[in-house]
Each structure stands twice: as structure tokens, then as C-alpha cells.
Amino acid sequence: MSVQSGTGRSAVEPVVSAKAWSVLFASTFAFLVCFVVWMMFGVLGVPLRDELQLNSTEFGLLTSTPVLTGALMRLPLGTWTDRFGGRLVMTVLLVVCAVPVYVVSYATALWQFLLIGLFLGCVGASFAVGTPYVARFFPPARRGFAMGFFGAGTAGAAVNLFVTPSLQAAYGWRFVPRVYAVALLVTAVIFWFASAPDPGAGQTKGSWLDGFKVLRNPHVWRLCQYYSITFGGFTALSLWIPQYLKAEYGMSLVMASMFAAGFSLPGSVLRAVGGALADRLGAHSVTWWGLWVAWICLFLLSYPPTDFVIHTIDGTASIHLRVSVYMFVALAFVLGGVFAFGMASTFKYVADDFAENMGVVTGIVGLAGGLGGFLLPIIFGILLDFFRVRSTCFMFLYGIVWVSLILIYLSEVRRTPVAGPVG
């Protein structure tokens, strides 16, 4: 459809079919349900911590174990999506993962939760299936928005923070995984009938290993770095913040989960906005400035409660510095938003630079982000056990953001001017 701009220029507005919208909505819903299940240990882990007498490191391991397989499986699932199509791979994934999710309700020891968590964590790999799948239904000028909208399925982290503690409080924690197993099966049926055959299925040429030649491209590794902090940081904090609020501010689990949604919800919903901004301003600009805002937020969140004693001519005066709960929620809201922008802009890079093998590159970059989400809660627990300061988790993320900013400056800023609005 041709439209006339205000300056007299003719532009072509890309047409998006009804089938594309149906695929986008169905895939986003499926990913949202998967993310709820993937994040459930972030809430269930709090009562399990008391029941199993876990220390901070063990708690971090419990909550992050599903994230490990969700990361590792993104690479094979991304390549299978290129070969067999997103519709088939997503449906099979939903059905198969319902089994270990249900089995969680029978676990009684830490090693059992860790073992089952490795299997149920595969639902987190659904991102590597849906991202290239939905992108292939949209024209290049709208792919940033489409992938960002699909990525908004990470709102499942916020849904988990509302639904899981309510179910756990009303029926006990063993009831929760049984409900989620049924939800996965119902979602598989809805997705199959609302989606469409993948137009990119079977078009990959050469052997399965040929797709990994893209690893020789250093740009892929830079994208892995960006995504490890945006998605990895988002995932890790979604798991960590409920128990952080409970311990730091004395909240109940339900109240801590509701406040933690102040981080998770914008970090999910705003991915669509971030994708649209990346379409308009360019992936580089959104990533660069988003990381700077994250740097500021993490600097403020890193400051632990501190008392200063000042000796004056009239005696001593004390100053108490602490991030209030309201300031924490406000900073977490902003941090979640810019992480969402960064997640969306990273895959705008992928769509622009690796259109021919999006499934493989999506899997590689998603693997890096998932590994970040797996390792960070464990590191948070180790730092807390060693330094005995709760805000060390934010200090560590602050350092990682510094590394990302230096990397993007050396690789892009010095040789590429920041993109401005187009049109």
C-alpha cells in the first residue's frame, strides 16, 4: 500500500497478513506460558529454602538449574526450527515438557529438584523457536517489532510472581507444578490450531554443522555479550528479587513477589516498544543508550545500607543512607525497561545481519543469555555467603554493564555515528 508523506515523498507501508498476526499472538502466548513455568522456582524456592534448609549458594543453584537447560537447548532448537519449522518444534516442546513439570510435585530432596529442573528447564528454550518463526512472517522493516512483541512473553516472569505465590498459599506448593503441567498441554493445542506452517522450514542448505560456521564472525560474540547482561540479568533478577525483598525489607512472600513484578513486568511488556525503537533508530542506538541507563540504575542499587558518623565541633552526627523500598521499586522498574529495550535491540541486530541463518544465530545468542541467567543467581549466592552484603548482586551486574559499554564503544561507537530517527 503506497502512502504519501508530509514532505511529498512516496513511501511503501509494509503489509502484514492476518496469518502473520495470528502466528505472532499464538507464539507470544505459548512463550509466556513457558516463561511462567521456567521461572516458577524463583517463587517456589523461597518455601523450599526453609523446608530443605538451603544456604544462599544452594538456593541460587536451585532457582537457576532450569535456566541451564533452557540455555543449552536453545542452540539445537534454533537449528531444528530452521529445518523442521517453528510450528512443529514448539508444539512438541510444550507437550514433552509437561511431564517433568508434573513430576516436580513428587520431589522431596534437593538433588531431585535439581535433576528434574534440568528437564523442565527445556521450556525456556522456546525463545529460540519462536523468534525466527515469527520473524519469517513479517517484512524486514517490521521484524524488530515482531520479535520484540514475541519477546514480551517474558511477562511470564511477572505472571509467575502473581500466580505462583497465590496458588502456593491456597493449595500448597506441590499443587503448582501440576497446574502448570496441564497449562502446557492446553497451550500446545491452542498454539497448533492458531499457528501456521513455517515458510522457512527445510530451506537450510548443507549439513547440520555448516550452520555453526557463523561462530567465526566476531559480531556474533559481541551480541552474546550484550544479551548475557540484558536477558541474563533480567532472568537472574526475576529469580533473585523476591527473596531479596523478603530478606532486606521484611516483606511476606506474596508482597515481595508483587513488588518484584515492578521489575519483571516492564522488562517484558516494553520489549515490543524496544523492537519498534530499534526498527526506527537502529539497534546500535537503543543498545548503547539503554546500557548507560542500566549503568546508572545499578550504581544506585549497589549501595548497601550505610551509617556515617561525623565528628563536629558540637559532638557527633550520624547519617544513615539506604535505598528505600519505593526507590528500589522505581529503579527496578527503569532497569527492567532498559533491559527489555536491550533484549529487543540485540535481536534486531540478528535480523539485520544474519537473515539467512536466524535460527542458528538466535540459538547461539539465546544460549549466551540463558547461561547468564543460569550462572548469575549462583554467583549472587556465592557473593552473599562470602561478603554478607545483599546488594553485591547489583554490584556484580554493574561491573558486567561496564564491560559491555567498553566493548560496544571499541567495536561500534568509535567508527559508527549514533543513528538518528529515519523518515
**Torsion of Cα atoms, 405 then 410 then 412 then 415, to 10°:** 140
Report the percent of the chain where pLDDT is more than 70: 91
Rounded to whole angstroms, the Cα distance separating 44 from 303 reads: 28
Question: What's the whole-number mean pLDDT along residues 160-165?
Answer: 86
**Residue 9, domain member (yes or no):** no
**Is 420 within the bounds of a domain?**
no
User: Is 6 among the domain residues?
Assistant: no
216 within domain boundaries = yes
pLDDT at position 291, please?
Answer: 93
Q: Give the chain's domain count.
A: 1
pTM over 0.85: no
pLDDT, tens only, 173-188: 899 999 999 999 999 9
Question: How far, in Å, are 4, 87, 117, 205, 374 from residue 67 at the CA level?
Answer: 48, 23, 9, 31, 5
pLDDT at 274 over 50: yes
Convert the pLDDT of each residue in 359-388 to its tens digit: 778 778 888 888 888 889 889 989 998 999
User: Does some domain include residue 421?
Assistant: no
Q: Evaluate whether residue 418 is within a structural domain.
A: no
pLDDT in tens, 13-49: 567 788 989 999 999 999 999 989 988 888 888 888 8
What pLDDT shows up at residue 249?
Answer: 92
Q: What is the mean pLDDT of residues 142-146?
A: 83
What pLDDT score does 419 carry? 44
Which pLDDT tens digit goes with each residue over 8-19?
434 455 677 889
Contact in structure between 75 and 129 (CB atoms under 8 Å): no
Structural domain range at position 264: 17-413
- Average pLDDT, whole number, for the chain? 84
Each residue's pLDDT tens digit, 83-96: 888 899 999 999 99
Which range (77-86, 196-205, 236-245) has the least confidence? 196-205
The answer on pLDDT for 206 being more than 70 is no
Confidence bin at 321 (pLDDT 50/70/90): confident
Tell me the average pLDDT across 395-406. Answer: 93
Enumerate residues 6+ apart whose C-beta is below 8 A from 256: 241, 242, 243, 244, 245, 246, 249
Average pLDDT of span 259-282: 81
- Identify the band that residue 399 occupies on the pLDDT scale cut at 50, 70 and 90: very high
For residue 3, what pLDDT is reported?
41
Contact by Cβ (8 Å): 115, 148:
no
- Tell me: pLDDT of 408 over 50: yes
Mean pLDDT is highest, among 345-354, 364-373, 390-399, for 390-399
Q: Give yes or no for residue 107 having a pLDDT over 70.
A: yes
Percentage with pLDDT > 90 across the chain: 30
Average pLDDT over every residue of 115-143: 87
For every residue of 229-268, DSSP letters joined together read HHHHHHHHHHHHHHHHHHHHH---HHHHHHHHHHHHTHHH
| C-alpha of 4 from chain center | 39
* Higher per-residue pLDDT: 284 or 355: 284
For 216-369, list the strands marked E by DSSP.
306-312, 315-321
CATH no. for residue 142?
1.20.1250.20
Residue 272 covered by a domain = yes
How far is Cα 223 from Cα 128, in angstroms, rounded to an integer?
15
Is 394's pLDDT higher than 80?
Answer: yes
Under the banding of pLDDT at 50, 70 and 90, the label for residue 4 is: very low
Amino acid 408 reads I
> Has residue 7 been placed in a domain?
no
